[in-house]
Structure 1
């Protein structure tokens, strides 16, 4: 069994309660709008990190991030993209069992046509009245379950 921490839209802010939630993850997936390379360095102290570039990520460090990335965990293919609207232009998304995205800041878990779509929401600065959130995937062989956790501002 593998626990994957999900985080997005940190916009340069790593909250202590979100870091605590991510501890114990075997891997962390960041779905973009990192906004500060220090965020990735801090997450890597917890577990290996895969991250994609968001629309607010810029600079030499962000140029090293792909716009979409496919990750295999046990027998589950996961595709990450910051903005779900960009998904159709990524051939690596085909056949993925899970799609992880960010951008909207709205946490959501939804299964459609056999694909689990997960947006962990925003773990960074609060936007509008949307919650501060992160998520996790638990992969066991070829099965996967997702959940979102909301945090106090």
Structure 2
């Protein structure tokens, strides 16, 4: 759980460098997950994850990315 503005959220995000798909599987057992791939996520399984995403939480849009240099 983490603080988002004025309330708590239980929606974990993984901003790249997942490492292996089992990490996301474990997080999904806890709550819905938004995950994007990072520079170490180069194996075949990683293509299932986008490089960026937009998440809506608590009425806010959050642009999720791994590397700020890609902006």
- Quickly name the TM-score band, shorter chain normalised: 0.7 to 0.9
Structure 2: which 5+ residue stretches go unaligned? Answer: 1-6
Aligned positions, number: 65
CA distance in 1, matches of 2:55, 2:36: 11
What does residue 79 of structure 1 align with? Answer: 63
CA distance in 2, matches of 1:73, 1:2: 10
CA distance in 2, matches of 1:28, 1:47: 7
Q: Which has the larger radius of gyration?
A: 1
CA distance in 2, matches of 1:71, 1:2: 15
What does residue 28 of structure 1 align with? Answer: 12
Q: Deviating runs (4+, > 6 A) in structure 1?
A: none
CA distance in 1, matches of 2:42, 2:21: 10
Q: Which has the higher helix share?
A: 2
2:48 corresponds to which of 43, 48, 64: 64
SS of 1:57 mapped into structure 2:
coil
* 1:14-43 CA-partner distances (Å, limit 9, x unpaired): xxxxxxxxxxxx210000001100000011
SS of 2:23 mapped into structure 1:
helix
Pairwise CA distance, 1:74: 2.4
Please tell me the root mean square deviation across aligned C-alpha atoms, in Å.
1.1
Give TM-score scaled by structure 1 length. Answer: 0.41
CA distance in 2, matches of 1:60, 1:48: 22
CA distance in 2, matches of 1:36, 1:69: 19
